Amino acid sequence: MIIVIADDFTGAAEMAGISLGYGLKVSLCIDGLVDTNADVLIVSTESRSMKKSRH
């Protein structure tokens, strides 16, 4: 299994499209639902829209 971590949903969707283009079975993780039979697992962290923490 290939695991892709994307920083936003747009990037995750793009990677899913590319993977599908190669004939791979894709699981795009939304709300924790994961297809364990997929060739490619794509997780969107939504970290791009997070605000910087000041410590």
Residue-level pLDDT at 49: 62
Domain count, the chain: 1
Residue 25 lies in a domain: yes
Residue-level pLDDT at 13: 94
Residue-level pLDDT at 11: 92
What percent helix, strand, coil does the chain show, rounded to 5? 30, 30, 40
Residue 11 lies in a domain: yes
Q: Which domain holds residue 43?
A: 2-48
Residue-level pLDDT at 45: 82
Cα three-residue angle 33-13-31, rounded to 5 degrees: 20
Residue-level pLDDT at 53: 74
Which amino acid does the sequence have at 54? Answer: R
**Cα–Cα distance between 36 and 29 in angstroms, integer?**
11
Mean pLDDT (10-residue bins), the chain, 55 residues: 91 95 92 82 76 71
Q: Is the distance from CB of 39 to CB of 24 less than 8 angstroms?
A: yes
